[in-house]
Chain A
Amino acid sequence: MNSSSPWYYIIHWIRLYFGAHLLFSGIRFAVTGYVPPIPGLGGEWVQANADIYLYQAIKYLEIVTGAMLFFNRFTLLGLILEFPATVNIFWLNTFIVATPRQLFTGPQELFLNGILLLAYSGWIYAAVKPKLEPLWLWDGPRAYKPEVQNGKFED
């Protein structure tokens, strides 16, 4: 993305906003243990998650992914790691809790993570194709050599 395009700054603004949003939410939980009151079935789901420590794990993950996004380090990896939590928030707020404000904040979460994934996914374009041969992470540099394409390369 060229910095002479408005998109460049808009995407960075959204990255900073989403990063700060996640950082605040995660750090607030770590410092105060704050869990927002959620009515009905949604509240029961969140309480069940807290009982099995999944809620806590996601809040600490938010600190890590929020810092990754805000400080622009491993941004694409941060967006991918955050996405399951985003889908969960989207579903819960939009379809289960569905109070007027949550009808805004649910889709907002999916919009923020989704548009950032779109904006950064150009980096994984080459790997998003119907057929891929397995390639260990540590063999990554071989992705740029032609012999890996048919699954045959010398170790």
Chain B
Amino acid sequence: MDKTKWIAVAVCAALTVAAFIGSTGLFYTEYRPIRNYDLVAFAGSWGGLIYMMIRDKNKKNRK
């Protein structure tokens, strides 16, 4: 993990928090528990990102 990837992970974590707050209404309206809809989107995006980062790391190692 280099600095670039850590910055990307931090931004994606911030986007995840924003999407969580937006969907649940935390701090701004009546709270609604997180939906499967959101959890699937989080799992898909984080799973895909981790897959891409591992793939790129392996590519780099082969060079």
> Chain A residues in contact with chain B, CB under 8 A?
3-10, 12-14, 16-17, 19-21, 23-25, 28, 70, 99-101, 104-105, 108
Contacts and interface: CB of A to CB of B under 8 A. Distances in A.
Nearest to A108: B22
Nearest to A36: B37
A105 to B, nearest CB: 6
Interface in B1-34: 4-5, 7-9, 11-12, 15, 19, 21-23, 25, 28-29, 32
Contacts of A70: 44, 48
A11 B19 CA distance: 16
Contacts, number: 78
B: contact size bracket? 20 to 34
Nearest to A101: B25
Contact of B37 (A4, A13, A24): A24
Interface of B: 4-5, 7-9, 11-12, 15, 19, 21-23, 25, 28-29, 32, 36-37, 40-49, 52-53, 56
Contacts of B9: 9
Contact of A12 (B21, B29, B41, B49): B49
Given A9-B12, A9-B52, A101-B29, A16 B44 contact: yes
A120 B40 CA distance: 24
Nearest to A71: B48
